[in-house]
Amino acid sequence: MVERHHAEDPLARLRERTPVLGMLREAGAEDRPFEGATIGVSSHLEPKTGIFIETLRDAGAEVLCTPNDPGSVHGDVVSHLDAQSGITAFAAPEMSEADLDRAHRDLLDREPDLLATDGAELLAKCHADPELSTESVVGCAEQTTSGVSRARAMADDGVLAVPVFAVNHTPMKHWFDNVHGTGESALTNVMLSTNTVLAGRTVVVAGYGYVGRGVATKARALGADTVVTEVDSRKAIRAHMDGHRVMPMDEAAEIGELFVTATGNCHVIRERHVRKMNDGAMLCNVGHRDIEVAIGELADAATDVRDVEEGITRYSLADGRTIDLLAEGKMVNLTGPYSQGHPAAVMDTTFAAMVLALRELVETDGLDAGVHPLPERLDEDVARLKLDALGVEIDSLTDLQQRYLDAWQRDEIV
C-alpha cells in the first residue's frame, strides 16, 4: 500500500512545475544579485508567488510581501513564507480593505529598494501618500495590464519618480499568461464553482484584449456560443474574424447566459443591462478590480441579495428573475472558491520575467523615471529557458539566412 504524507511545504509540488524559476533560483543563489537589497512584493499570495518570493530571497534579497487583493491570500502560503529567514509577510487570510492599506503602509515604511507589483498598488501608494516616500526605491517591475496602465497614467501626470519595467507588455507575458493562464483558470473556476457545463451556453466576453481573447477562445473550444463586446474597432474586427459574434452590451445582455468582463475598465455591466438579462444569468469578472460589474447598481435593481453558495451571490429582481454574481465581482480565477490562480507552468515564465526585470534594475545605472519596455533579450532568455525545460528544440538562422534578412539588395545574397 502507498503511504501518503501531507506535504509540510505547501510549495513543494508546484516547485516541480516551475522549472524556469528553478533555474533562475540556482543561478541567483550563486551570484546573489540582490545582496543587501530589500524587495517589496505585492501580488496574490498563493503558492506560485511563494516560489517567486523564495527565488528573490535565495538571490540575496530581504523580501517583504503583501497581497494586492484581500481575497487572494492563502494562509498556509503566508505562514510558510513568514517562517523563513529573509522573508516577512504583511498579510493574513481574512484581511479587510483597511487591513490591506495598513499592510501596504507597513511594508513601505521599511523603505524597500525595489518593488515587484501586480496592479501597481505599492507604487501608487508611495507616490500618493505624503507620509510615505519613493526615495529608497530604485525601480519597480509590474506584471499586469492594469498596473502598467496605472504607472503610465502616473508618468503622464508627471508624478512617476522611479523607473518601471512593463513586464506585462512582453510577448512571453501577453501570449501565455494573459491568454492561456487567465483564459483557462477563469473558466475552470466558473465551471467548478457553479457546477455548470459551458457547451451549448451563450458566453458573453466583455473586452477582446489578451485576456478576453483567451477567455472567448477557450469558451468556444468548450462548445460555448461566444459573443464579444468591445469599444475598440480593431479588437472588435479581430473578434469578428476569429468567429465570435460582436455586438454592444445592450444587445448581448438579452442573450447571454454567462458574462465575463475582461476590460480593466469600470461599470461595463450596469443596471440597464441586468434588467434585460435572462433568468439565471451568471456574471463574473477577470479584470483587475471588482468594478467591471457595477455591483452597487445590481444591488439597487434587486429586491433581495443573498449568498446562495460559496462564491455565488444571488440578486433577485422584482419580476422573480435571479442573476448570480460570482466571487463578488473580484477576479474569479484568483478569488473564487476553487481558485488556484494561473497554472504553475504559466506563472513560471511570468515570474521568471519579473526576476530578470528586477535584476536589470539593480544592474543598470541611470534608468530614467518612467515606464520602460523590458529589454527583448530578457524576454528571449525566458522563452529559451522555457523551451530548454520543456525539452523542445528549434532551428536557428544560418549565416546566409541572416545576411539575406539583413540586406535590402537581396538578389546579391541569393
- Residue closer to ligand NAI by CB (options 33, 147) is 147
Kindly state the smallest distance separating residue 285's Cβ from ligand NAI, in Å: 8
Our CB check for ligand NAI shows the closer of 230 and 360 to be: 230
The SS3 call for residue 380 is helix
- Is the Cβ of residue 60 or residue 341 nearer to ligand NAI in the bound state? 341
Site for ligand NAI in 300-329 (CB under 6 A): none
**CB nearer ligand NAI, residue 58 or residue 118:** 118
Distances (CA, A) of 121 to 56, 82, 125, 142, 143: 20, 21, 6, 10, 12
Q: Candidates 134-142, 195-203, 331-339, 358-366: pick the segment binding ligand NAI (CB under 6 A).
A: 331-339
Which grid coordinates are listed for 61? 534579497
> Which residue's CB is nearer to ligand NAI, number 144 or number 194?
144
Q: How far is the CB of 154 from ligand NAI (least distance, A)?
A: 16
User: CA 15, CA 132: separation in Å to the nearest integer?
Assistant: 36
Binding annotation:
209-214, 230, 333, 342
CB of 40 to ligand NAI, least distance (A): 19
For 393, phi then psi, to 5°, come to: -105, 150
Whether residue 160 contacts residue 154, with contact meaning beta carbons closer than 8 Å, is answered with yes
Considering only 35, 106, 232, 310, the residue that binds ligand NAI (CB under 6 A) is: 232
Q: How far is the CB of 208 from ligand NAI (least distance, A)?
A: 5
Interacting stretch for ligand NAI, rule CB under 6 A, among 22-30, 72-80, 92-100, 144-152?
A: 144-152
The helix (run of H) or strand (run of E) holding residue 268 is: none
Question: CA nearest 323: which of 282, 358, 374?
Answer: 282
Helix (H, G, I), strand (E, B) or coil at 312: strand
286 neighbors 261 (Cβ within 8 angstroms): yes
Contacts of residue 143, defined as CB under 8 A and 6 or more positions apart, other chains included, come to: 43, 116, 117, 118, 167, 168, 173, 350, 353, 354
Q: Does 72 bind ligand NAI (CB under 6 A)?
A: no
Smallest distance from the beta carbon of 232 to ligand NAI, in angstroms? 4
d(CA 379, CA 362): 17
The residue (of 84 and 265) whose beta carbon lies closer to ligand NAI is 265
* Number of shown-chain residues binding ligand NAI (CB under 6 A): 28
If the CB atoms of residues 33 and 183 are measured against ligand NAI, the closer one turns out to be 183
Q: Does 49 bind ligand NAI (CB under 6 A)?
A: no
Write out the binding residues for ligand NAI, residues 170-229 only, by CB under 6 A: 178, 182, 206-212, 229
For residue 258, count other CB atoms closer than 10 A to its CB.
23
Q: SS3 helix, strand, coil % of the chain, rounded to 5?
A: 45, 15, 35
- Which 244-303 positions form the footprint of ligand NAI (CB under 6 A)? 262-265, 268, 286-288
Beta carbon of residue 139, minimum distance to ligand NAI (angstroms, whole number): 20
Cβ 206 vs Cβ 263: under 8 Å: yes
Nearer to ligand NAI, 19 or 181 (CB): 181
- Annotated binding residues for NAD(+), written as ranges, equal 209-214, 230, 333, 342
Whether residue 140 contacts residue 151, with contact meaning beta carbons closer than 8 Å, is answered with: yes
Rounded to whole angstroms, the Cα distance separating 295 from 146 reads 20
Residues that bind ligand NAI (CB under 6 A): 144-146, 178, 182, 206-212, 229-232, 235, 262-265, 268, 286-288, 331, 333-334
